[in-house]
Amino acid sequence: MIAEDISIGILLRDFAPQVLAVLVRRHGDFDRCEDALQEALLAAADQWPATGVPNNPKGWLITVASRRWVELWRNDTARTRRELKAAALEPPLPDPAGLTDDGLVDDSLNLMLLCCHSALTVPAQVALTLRAVGGLTTAEIARALLAPEATVAQRISRAKQRIRASGATFSPPAGAELGPRVNAVLRVLYVIFTEGSTASSGNSLQRVELSAEAIRLTRQLHAARPDDGEIVGLLALMLLTDARRAARTRADGTLVPLDEQDRARWNHAAIAEGIELVSSTLSRNPLGPFQLQAAIAAVHAEAPQPADTDWPQILTLYDLLCLIEPSPMTTLARIVAIAMTHGAEAGLRQLEQATTDPVLAAHHRTYAVHAHLLDMSGAHDAARAAYHEAARRTLSVPERRYLLSKTHRGQDPP
């Protein structure tokens, strides 16, 4: 048995996507594999505290889940014992498109590629993969995708139904199909990293286990496809963002905004690597959204002090990003760049136009930006009211505490 002090919950969370990947590659039936895995996880949670964790937890889970899959298969089908034995002897499918050469890419990334099936729309691919592999709840996925929770739940359910109805299998992507799947995986990794970097709810600002896993998997994908500019851009963006992690909270967990952070606490080795990556990809690849976001993060990272930030360059990059891949949060970030370049009044005018978008009109960050711009313009009473409304709308405890603290202070950027 392995050490008793290892958290069983952490083990189960870490092994779940790996076991699911083995089951899906072997059997190709996502729903039944997922059900079998859940029963194996429940069995482990029930047995391991009493008997101890096996020396090979992953193998234990695969064995139990495989047995349960056979039971479910027998209940759902009328196939003969001979066919069942033949299926059990069938070798697992090869790794997708040779991406796992010499063990380069692990089961979590393989399962992401398998879940991003061509029978699904991109939103459905992303939602299904975040739920099955990323381990995010439906509510967390909904907040990340700026969609109603009920819509995301339906999207995941219909994704499974669509695959089942089309007769499609979770086979390895190849040729022209691989590129679109990789693009969907990048979006999934970005969402996982973002939820880890700034948790959408809960008592902690950051969920380091999520952001670290996203970086690890993106590194593996980069090693497998080093010439893909958007993979390079995403890895650079993650490194440049994660480099600020130690400075983003105080000892008591209080949020520290970017312009108040102690830049000596930033991880300068990660910043150097991120800047080198984004510089190399911008010089030899067509522009993509992750490359542009990485370039913006690099401009922030290169400023010795907040006052040295090159806001006109950031605004230019956001202009390009809005053209290539517009989104509500990009619009909001661009408005901040407008205000920092051309003044608070210019930002307020842009914000008034942007809030015709229902997503932005209801989002707590819109109220936080509004408060910041009001403070910049000297309307401090109105700013305090906006900060209070932003605090009321966020589900993140550190963000709420920070925003409420702004209602008792003078002008400070968010």
Mean pLDDT of 126-151: 86
pLDDT at position 49 is: 85
Q: Of 265, 216, 261, 267, which is closest to residue 240 (Cα–Cα)? A: 267
pLDDT at 94 over 80: no
pLDDT at position 76 is: 66
Cα-based torsion angle of the residue sequence 398, 402, 404, 409 in order, rounded to the nearest 10 degrees = 170
Cβ 4 vs Cβ 52: under 8 Å: yes
- Alpha-carbon span 326 to 401, nearest angstrom: 30
- Alpha-carbon span 225 to 32, nearest angstrom: 32
pLDDT at position 411 is: 44
pTM given for the model: 0.80
Residue 264 or residue 114, greater confidence = 264
Tens digits of residue pLDDT in 76-85:
664 444 444 5
Confidence of residue 404 (pLDDT cuts 50, 70, 90): very high
Burial 112-130 (b: 16+ CB within 10 A, else e): bbbbbbeebeebbbbbbbb
Ordered by start, the domain boundaries in the chain are: 8-92, 99-225, 327-414
- Alpha-carbon span 190 to 288, nearest angstrom: 14
Minimum mean pLDDT range among 54-63, 99-108, 362-371, 375-384: 99-108
As its CATH architecture, domain 327-414 has Alpha Horseshoe (1.25)
pLDDT at position 1 is: 43
- Alpha-carbon span 66 to 71, nearest angstrom: 9
